[in-house]
Amino acid sequence: MMRRNDRGRWWDCKVFSGETVVSQHKLLAMDILMPKRLVDGKKKNPQIKWGALKGDKVEVFSNKVLEGRHISICEDTNQLWDEMAEKVTRAAKETLGMTTGNKNGQKESWWWNEEVQLKVREKQQRFREFASCTEITERARLKTKYKEAKREAKKTVSEAKTKAYKEMYKRLETKEGEHAMFKIAKARERKRQDLGVVKFIKGEDGHVLVKENEIKDRWQTYFHDLFNKSDYLEQDGGNTTNTGTA
């Protein structure tokens, strides 16, 4: 089945009638012109790498924020707040850097450090050199270098993850770590929930319900009344009228 306005896109239709089946089940072959759909470039949204704010970068960031600090008497609090926010953002961009803005998938990078970054960049550079080389002898040498860089990067990543997990387990033994663990669990639970769920609904008395259990009970009562309200008939002079739900 084809739309009438698409007839110019298909031609050279052939039907293979070898099978003893009805016409709509016979094999059909044709040439179809499929237009390539242009995909709009996704808007990039670079963000500050706040996860890198640790170690020596904490002191560097603090110094940049406090650099050039002066006490000014300003009646407009909004202007004062905007200036302070701009200074903090500028210092964070210079110290921590920005992401590329590509969201091809959320990658686990909380254990990432500068040593891992250098090893990964070296591996990528070795691969580019190996892929662009066409001379057989030189290509074999570059392939060996790439494998060595890949092995080193894998080892560095493993060591960084092991160290980061050990530090995380130590933090979990403290009160602050326990509190952070519950915050992560709550955040994951919120992400798991359906975005289209109704968070606020009015009860039978007209008051707004905000608690999850009360909202569920209200929906249960609503649908129970909606689907279980029986029709009733009124007799009026021999005429029967249905005044219930349809």
Phi/psi of residue 243, nearest 5 degrees: -110, 10
Buried b (16+ CB within 10 A) or exposed e, 86-118: ebeeebbeebbeeeeeeeeeeeeeebbbeebee
Name the pairing type of β-strands 208-209 and 233-236.
unpaired
Span 134-154, average pLDDT: 92
pLDDT (average), residues 130-152: 91
CA pair distance 71, 62, nearest whole angstrom: 17
Residue 200 pLDDT > 60 = yes
* Whether the predicted pLDDT of 124 surpasses 60: yes
Rg (CA), the chain: 33
pLDDT of residue 123: 94
Cβ-contact 184, 175 below 8 angstroms: no
pTM of the model: 0.41
Lowest mean pLDDT: which of 142-151, 164-173, 223-232?
Answer: 223-232
pLDDT band at 158 (very low <50, low <70, confident <90, very high): very high
Range from 82-96, 154-168, 173-187 carrying the lowest mean pLDDT:
173-187
CB distance 146 to 127 below 8 Å: yes
At 113 the three-state DSSP class reads: coil
Alpha-carbon gap, residue 8 to 114, rounded angstroms: 58
Out of 51-55, 148-152, 222-226, 228-232, give the one with best mean pLDDT.
Answer: 148-152
pLDDT over 90 at 5, yes or no: no
Tens of pLDDT, residue by residue over 21-71, are 666 667 778 888 877 776 655 667 788 888 778 778 888 888 888 886 665
Residue 111 is classified by DSSP as T
pLDDT at 198 over 60: no
Cα four-point dihedral sign 98, 104, 106, 111: negative
66: amino acid identity, one letter: L
Give the whole-number percent of the chain exceeding pLDDT 70. 74
Q: Which residue has the higher pLDDT, 3 or 116?
A: 116
User: Please, what is the average pLDDT of the chain?
Assistant: 77
Residue 139 has pLDDT above 60, yes or no: yes
**β-strand 27-32 against 10-16: which pairing, if any?**
antiparallel
Residue with more model confidence, 165 or 4: 165
The pLDDT value recorded for residue 245 is 39
Contacts for 19 with CB less than 8 Å, ≥ 6 apart: 25, 26, 27
Q: What is the pLDDT of residue 27?
A: 77
Q: Any idea where the domains of the chain sit in the sequence?
A: 53-99, 111-189
Q: What is the pLDDT of residue 246?
A: 38
